[in-house]
Structure 1
Amino acid sequence: MKAHPTSIEGLLRIELDLQLNADGWFVESFHRDKLLAAGGPAYDVVQHNVLAIDRAGVLRGIHAEPWDKYLAPSAGRLFVAIVELRANAQFGQVECFELAPGEALYVPRGCGNSFCTLEPHTVYNFLVNETWSPERITVDPFDPELAIRWPFPRAELSYTDRDASNPPLTEVRAQLV
């Protein structure tokens, strides 16, 4: 496991040791001690969630919950956009990644997470260090200020009305000040 810092404080891009074999592959998608040894935080998982999506172009987010997240696909590929939503000098900064099996992200609380499936039959795992609660900060994934270049035109994306009606970044910024 190798952890690489990004331009957003605390956000780590993680390379996992994907081992190919005659039947497919094996990966240890999360190992607390190895994450710590690679420079990551001491991360105590409370809940492991799995989301399976049948088609490409499904978009979810942007959501910043009051917990840290460890994201790793086990099938398919994801486009992930992380937005800094903590009240600091980096507020509004966006980092985008493509993730496939063998790759992961550690997302600190306060950073908004969003993703779009790039392939059908994508399986997305996320581990969290707090149990679910409805508390969260949301932002419009299509906000021009964020300028996220989604991998499909908006008309071809599948998203919830709730996500599309999230407030723009300017409203979130005003609430944090």
Structure 2
Amino acid sequence: MRSTAIEGLIVLDLAVHTDERGWFKESWQRARMTGEGLQDFRPVQSNVAFNATAGTTRGLHAEPWDKLVTVGTGRVQGGWVDLREGSRTFGETESAEIGPGTAVFVPRGVANGYQALEDDTTYLYLVNDHWSPDAPYVNVSHRLVDWPLEPVNLSDKDLANPAELIPVAPRRILVTGADGQVGRALRKVLPDAEFCTREEFDITDPPERPWRQYAAIINAAAYTDVDGAEDDRATAWRVNAEGPAQLARIATEHNLTLVHLSSDYVFDGDTDRPYTEEDPLSPVSVYGQSKAAGDIAVATAPRHYIVRTGWVVGEGRNFVDTMRGLAEKGVQPQVVHDQKGRPTFAGDLAKGIAHLLTAQPEYGTYHLTGAGDEVGWDEVAMATFTALGQDPDNVHPVSSAQYFAGKRHAPRPSRSTLSTAKIEATGWAPRNWRVGLALYLA
């Protein structure tokens, strides 16, 4: 497997087995090739082009799919130009001879063409989306490549292809739950993504999309009314469990990366240390149970990141804004002291999600919260009052039993602190929640 001047364009050396009958090769061997580092591009269509005359030239075509090209008979000279918008090798060209012992992986957005070097040449290629007359195609002139033979037999369309390099937009990212705290924060981090509210994209009944033109789905949609879930169980399960299962099915079928926002409430809090990703799920509320079921469903998608977080503070209704409002009104609130955790600011969470999509560490579950000391909700309230120049003694700590006395409520985990060691090992450093609080209030 050899790299080229175009990022992601890979030349593969194939084993060709010959005898008196001819030869045999494996032009696509998923386990071996992905084991050597080629992406698992999941081909869905196989195409064959026969070229009767040497010099026959086709291209250059940038189609909205990845390709693996080789030959069945004869030899060709392959030619490529990188048209991917934002690519560090945009505009670079590459050319290589392809015989029976060679295959080339061509990423989506790289214009592909070839010239037959022998009569009766058969050109073979696998693609990971079905051909459609409505798909977006970008074609450029074959003259951008130096061919070994005089080009002949070009189609009228290929003769008319422009020399101008026309950028091909990358695959898109779809974000659900766009009007939530995390969804709003993601807008600032991923401005080119497609953001959908619940009305625009119901994850329990996902509308059709040209999914092969997407790279990832970020599921920030959820039923988050912890107490309400105790009575409205059907809705909580439909949104938090069945919806993610639908997205996992789409991600699996179309080879997408699925990022799913999960919760510290999948644990019961009965621990003397921060929870790791390997700890067993043990939710104590209907909300936590529905989120745990969603985690299990998402884990069926081969390319998934389950991002567990807790105590989220961002644009929208949140605990810190509530405390700010009470402080400004001179109210002295009662706040529970026996639920422990660490606040997570939505902007930091959004940047951590973008990091996972960019760095592409091993798929799986990652805990992503603010860093720093473990505190109770009362301490977060006191820190908020202090930052606003108010007396922190105006916050009155109470137990959960006292706070919820006489109220119908869901049980909460007594400790929600999550270990972030795993995501830190990928190069992401969570910000201390106290720094995040100061910046948020400022």
**Length-normalised TM-score, structure 1:** 0.88
The equivalences for 1:85-100 within 5 A come to 85-87=83-85, 88-100=87-99
- The alpha carbon displacement at 1:90 in A equals 1.8
2:104 and 2:88 map into 1 onto residues whose CA distance is: 22
Q: Kindly indicate whether structure 1 or structure 2 has the higher relative contact order, using CA contacts under 8 Å at least 6 residues apart.
A: 1
Q: Please name the residue that 2:51 is paired with.
A: 53
Task: Say which structure is richer in strand.
Answer: 1
1:141 and 2:142 equivalent? yes
- Residue 163 (structure 1) aligned to one of 154, 158, 163: 158
Q: CA deviation at 1:67?
A: 0.2
Pick the aligned partner of 1:24 from 4, 22, 25.
Answer: 22
* Per-residue deviation, 1:84: 0.3
Match of 1:152 in 2: 149
The alpha-carbon deviation at position 153 of structure 1 amounts to 2.6
What is aligned with 1:105? 104
For residues 150 and 18 of structure 2, what CA distance do their matches in structure 1 show? Answer: 34
SS in 1 for 2:126: strand
In structure 1, the residue matched to 2:128 is: 129
Counterpart check, 1:41 vs 2:39: yes
Displacement after TM superposition at 1:28 (Å): 1.1
Native 8 Å contact 1:92 1:169 kept in 2 = no
Q: Is the 8 A contact 1:52 1:124 kept in 2?
A: yes
In the superposition, the TM-score normalised over structure 2's length comes to 0.36
Within 2, Cα distance between the matches of 1:89 and 1:13? Answer: 19
List gaps (5 residues or longer) in structure 1.
Answer: none
SS at match of 1:169: coil
- CA distance in 2 between counterparts of 1:53 and 1:168 reads 24
Q: Render the CA deviation track for 1:47-75: whole Å, top value 9, x for unaligned.
A: 00111111111111010000000001011
Query: Which stretch has the larger CA shift, 21-30 or 64-73?
Result: 21-30
One-letter amino acid of the structure 2 residue matched with residue 126 of structure 1: Y
Asked whether the equivalents of residues 15 and 101 of structure 2 are also in contact (C-alpha less than 8 Å), the reply is: yes
Q: Which has the larger radius of gyration?
A: 2
**Contact 2:63/2:138 (CA < 8 Å) preserved in 1?**
yes
- Which residue identity lines up with residue 78 of structure 2 in the other structure? V
Count of equivalent residues = 166
Structure 1 residue 89: Cα displacement: 3.3
- C-alpha displacement at 1:149, in angstroms? 1.3
Post-superposition CA distance 1:22-63 (Å, at most 9, x none): 211111111111110121001211000111111111111010
CA RMSD between the two structures? 1.5
Paired with 1:119 and 1:19, the residues of 2 have a C-alpha distance of 21
4+ residue runs of structure 1 moved beyond 3 angstroms?
none
Q: 1:32, 1:43 within 8 Å by CA — same for their partners in 2?
A: no
1:75-94 map, 5 Å: 75-87=73-85, 88-94=87-93
Deviation at 1:133, TM superposition (A): 2.2
Q: Distance in 2 between matches of 1:15 and 1:66?
A: 25
2:34 aligned counterpart, secondary structure: helix
More helix by share: 2
